[in-house]
Amino acid sequence: MATVSTIHGATLTRRQFVTTGGTLVVGFALVGDRLFAGAAEAPTGKNSLDAKLSTSWFEIHADNTIVMRTGKVDFGQSTAHTAYKQLVAEELNVPYEAITSVVMGDTDRTPDGGFSAGFLEYGGQNLRKAAAYTYQALLDLAATTLGVDKSQLTVKDGVVSGGGKRTTYGELVRGQQLKLSIPVEGDLTSMFGLTVAGNPPMKPASQYTIIGKSFANTVTPSKVTAKEQWVTDVRLPDMLHGRIIHPKTLGSTLVAAGALDKAKFPNAQVVVKGNLVGVVAPSEWEAIKASQAVAATTRWTDWKGLPGHARLHTWLRDKADWKSTPVSKSDKGKGDVGAALQSAGTSFTASYELPYMKHAPIGPTVAVGDARPDGTVFIHTHNQNPQALRGQIAMMLGTSVDTVVVRIYAGPGHYGRSNGGNAGAEDEAVILSKAVGKPVRVQWMRPDDLQWSTQSPAGYSDIKIGLDANGTITAYDAAHYMPAMQDDRLVGAVIAGLPTPPPPGPDPRLPIGSTINSIQDPWIYTRVANVAEEGYGTFQVGQKESPLAVGLRDHSMRTPGQLQQNYPRELALSEAAARAGVDAIDFRLRQTDDQRLIGVLKAVREASGWQTRTAPSPAASATGTGKVTGQGVSAMLRSGTYWACVCHVSVVPSTGKVVVDKYTIAVDPGIVVNPLQLKRQIEGGALMGLSHALYEEVTFDESGVTSRDWRTYPVLTMADIPEIKVVIISHPELGTYGGGSEAANALAVSAIAAAFYDATGKPARRLPLKAAYVQTVLSGASGTR
Amino acid sequence: MAVTLLVNGTRREVQAPADTPLLYVLRNDLELSGPQFGCGLSQCGACSVLVDGKEARSCVLPLSSVANKQITTLEGLPERWAKQKGLSDPAATQTLHPVQQAWIDEQVPMCGFCQNGMMITATALLEQTPSPTVDQIKSAYMSGPSPHLCRCGTYSAIVEAVQKASTLMAKAR
């Protein structure tokens, strides 16, 4: 018989004694269930959360080692392998090294699901709470075992002491099967996954000894010695290699699949499902060559329904439907902006444009689908929301999630593309596997990945700023226009005509997957008396017109939505500061009472070597073959973290070449979990931001994306790296965990554009700052085209 | 066709069409998964290997062109270093190439997908230029068929790691 006790809303069960080993398994109970009845049973049944070991958050073993499990998928920023272990070790009072294994993402082996973004804000808090419940249960066990009152016990490095006695966690669990059920809420296969409920006692930040230290990423050795099991390495018995022949355009339907020359490709096979054409073969090279041969004779309808990238912003302004979607308004709106603008001594008005950009992983998406004869489906992939993918695959096949398992491997980072479950190749691998009755590995080629994946949405913003004679902002008015940002439909399923969720539309029940353009960039200039920010949303470009229902599909990318709103805001503030004759950092400081914003602005001013003066620079020039230089600043609040960034640039007006010489950033996340890894995340973000600012723009014609390789979609190279300086400001007393792996990219784009203005005296109000566009700006033509 | 390859110091016989890119042979037939498929166009460097000591893009190298040539993949770097230093076999299995050690010390990889080519290029550079300047390091990653590309923005860390590897190699001399 089991004995049961309740600890802060969690339930501890002690079962029969076992002779060797012993573990404490922390599993689940759903809130609202009777806590003990069915405790730790899977909320969604088979292949989900095993009532014994595989569904648990932690296993604490008799040898004092601990296994930790999370549904979040670390794709290189190291948070699950460093910060998560620090959070858990801290709450459990065990050494960091005691956590010897991290299980990540696999839908049948991890507990919580949800998207892999905002690691500290979401998954990290689940782990902290789960660890806090576990710690309380261990204290209770120790109190019983030692015969000492719980209040007399202290724990250090996994050793429990009190009343002159001591024991270890390992000894406490030895010889027993213990099961702790903790309360959770939510929907496992939804965007957000499950959340640990209740309020167990947590360790105060003032007592932290592990959080705040710089631990190395434990995955690095396997990645540099080729021992890592990458998604690209998955090989199953009888597996076939697959390639997809994607439609000719983003709206083409299939007329006839090309014939396969069996003399040339004796082992290959063509699969057609709806408008999806695939080729499989036992050898990868045969699959590639056969698919190229079949593609050459496959016939498609023609389609033209896109404006083309050169006309995009004119089209968005004049032709897009901004009326069918409710307008979002900022919750920081106040005063009467219209009246304040009218009475302002000086007003500044400008429009800013952003292009479509790509997630652009270095390796194209790849997945192995294994549809088995018993009806179960295994998917091996690299994906940021495996539980959501599981739900979508079940929907596509018209089956239950019980039959679908997603396994996760390391892969090329794609920065948000799959946080709704869809990286690209997974559904196609399953469709082909089901058709041929064998496991199929679908590897997209480079053009597939650029032309058939989602993109970070383009947009434009109209900004109006009113100023008084003292250089104070009296009114700020922003209207942001952006097509739907998050299309999570499986594209292979769409092409094949299989069930998917609906495409983004004006449905307020789907705040992320809708056309609603919510205000994503928190207003931080608290002293401004009159503020209005509006978000206008519309359908994805070409999606409704495409007979395939595809068009230019969008998806959130690093600092999603906020990049599109922060870039125009911060660049406009820098331009308005110049109009007011005030230094751009001083200008920001005088518009806010927010001490954390003031802190990062002052820190970045000091660290960057900022010259306090009005822009443009006294030496600014828009002509000549000599180098002119400039400085620019930007600031942001994202996921509880305050950021300020300064970029120094050089411009050669005659060539239009822009070089970023220095990138300086100050960051205040509240609690700093791991300074070393935070710095690395920021450095990576900085360079991605340079890439956005200088190079990245998806090109497309009336039929589809024309960016098809690294020559037609260039990204930053080593020749372009600046000096990077990161200033980390720690505020543990706030007790909050701000995010660290986003924002640095988004801050770069406006700071670089502001520095360009400082250097040349000419505003560039669209990205990227490529030579041809820069020369247009410098020759005096309009900053926006 | 049957081709003899000399991979990481071992003779390997392979049966594959002559035009098969070396990358697929390494990954699928020889189970050497260090080199990665990034573009298949010789535009990114994720697939790099050393062919007779020079960095080459295995995604576009036909199998027939590398018969009987010395090929080193990421897996072969420790052995390559051990041979250059005259280390015994047991010591060789325990030793990382200084480039790999530097990549760990400097915590270079983020997603890590491109780092195979970054380490191969570092090895080729340091064998020719033991103490490269920053400009020489950058130029090594900008030359060849294309620049080596990293999406995660680890370029600065790579420069630091090459300098670190140079120091480690100098110490081992």
CA atoms within 13 A on the CB side of A581: 4
Query: In A, residues 556-585, which contact B (CB 8 Å cutoff)?
Result: none
The model's pLDDT over A363-392, given as tens digits with 9 standing for 90+, comes to: 999 999 999 999 999 999 999 999 999 999
A687/B38 Cβ within 8 A = no
Q: How many other C-beta atoms lie within 10 A of the C-beta of residue A144?
A: 13
Do β-strands B70-72 and B2-7 pair in parallel, antiparallel, or remain unpaired? parallel
Q: Tell me which of B55, B73, B91 is where a domain ends.
A: B73
* Residue of A215, A288, A362 for testing the chain B interface, max B β-carbons within 10 Å: A362
Q: Tell me: the pLDDT tens digits for A657-693? A: 999 999 999 999 999 999 999 999 999 999 999 999 9
User: Which structural domain, as residue segments, surrounds residue B138?
Assistant: 75-172
Indicate if ipTM > 0.90.
Answer: yes
Asked if the C-beta of A410 comes within 8 angstroms of chain B's C-beta atoms, the answer is: yes
Q: What would the CATH number be for the domain defined by A3-224?
A: 3.30.365.10
Taking the model in full, what pTM does it have? 0.95
pLDDT tops 80 at residue A14: no
Q: Residue B121 corresponds to which amino acid?
A: T
Pull the structure tokens for residue A630: 């400039």
CATH of residue B37's domain is: 3.10.20.30
Decide if A356 contacts A313 (C-beta within 8 A): no
Could you read off the pLDDT of A708-767 as tens digits, one per residue?
Answer: 999 999 999 999 999 999 999 999 999 999 999 999 999 999 999 999 999 999 999 999
Mean pLDDT of chain A: 92
Residue A17 pLDDT more than 50?
Answer: no
Q: How many domains does chain B have?
A: 2
Side chain identity, residue A558: R
Instruction: Kindly tell me the burial class for residue A564, based on how many C-beta atoms sit within 10 Å of its own C-beta (0-12, 13-18, 19 or more).
Output: buried
**Fold for the domain defined by A231-303+365-443:** Aldehyde Oxidoreductase; domain 4 (3.30.365)
Distance CA A66, CA A44 (A): 26
Residue A67 is classified by DSSP as E
Q: Which of B31, B55, B73 finishes a domain?
A: B73
d(CA A375, CA A266): 29
Between residues A175 and A331, the one the model is more confident about:
A331
Q: Are B48 and B57 in contact (CB under 8 A)?
A: yes
With beta carbons under 8 A apart, name residues in chain B contacting A425: none
Q: Per-residue pLDDT tens for A526-584? A: 999 999 999 999 999 999 999 999 999 999 999 999 999 999 999 999 999 999 999 99
User: Closest to A76 (Cβ–Cβ): which among B17, B111, B119?
Assistant: B111
Interatomic CA distance for residues A521 and B69, integer angstroms: 56
Residues of A in contact with B75 (CB under 8 A): 225-226
CA distance B163 to B161: 5
The C-alpha angle A629, A631, A636, rounded to 5 degrees, equals: 155
Checking if the pLDDT of A40 tops 50, the result is no
Of the listed ranges A175-179, A453-457, B59-63, B67-71, the least confidently predicted one is A175-179
Q: Does the pLDDT at position A352 exceed 60?
A: yes
| CATH assignment at residue B167 | 1.10.150.120
- Residue-wise pLDDT for A638-664, tens only, equals 999 999 999 999 999 999 999 999 999
Coil, helix or strand at residue A358: strand
Q: What is the CATH number of domain A577-778?
A: 3.30.365.10
β-sheet with B10-15: strand ranges across: B10-15, B2-7, B70-72, B48-51, B54-57
Q: What percent of chain A has pLDDT over 70?
A: 92
Compute CA B151 distance to the chain's CA centroid, rounded to the nearest angstrom.
19
Mutation target for B interface from A104, A223, A414: give the one with most B CBs within 10 A.
Answer: A223
pLDDT in tens, A483-542: 999 999 999 999 999 999 999 999 877 657 899 999 999 999 999 999 999 999 999 999
Whether A688 contacts chain B with CB within 8 A: yes
DSSP state of B54: E
Interchain pair B108, A443: CB under 8 A: no
Over residues A284-308, mean pLDDT: 98
Residue A24 contacts residue A60 (beta carbons within 8 Å): yes
Last-in-domain residue among B73, B93, B126: B73
- Closest residue to B107, CB basis, from A226, A680, A724: A680
* Whether residues B81 and B12 fall in one domain: no
Q: What pLDDT is stored for residue A12 in this prediction? A: 66
Nearest to A625 by CA among A651, A660, A658: A651
* Fold of the A309-353+457-538 domain: Aldehyde Oxidoreductase; domain 4 (3.30.365)
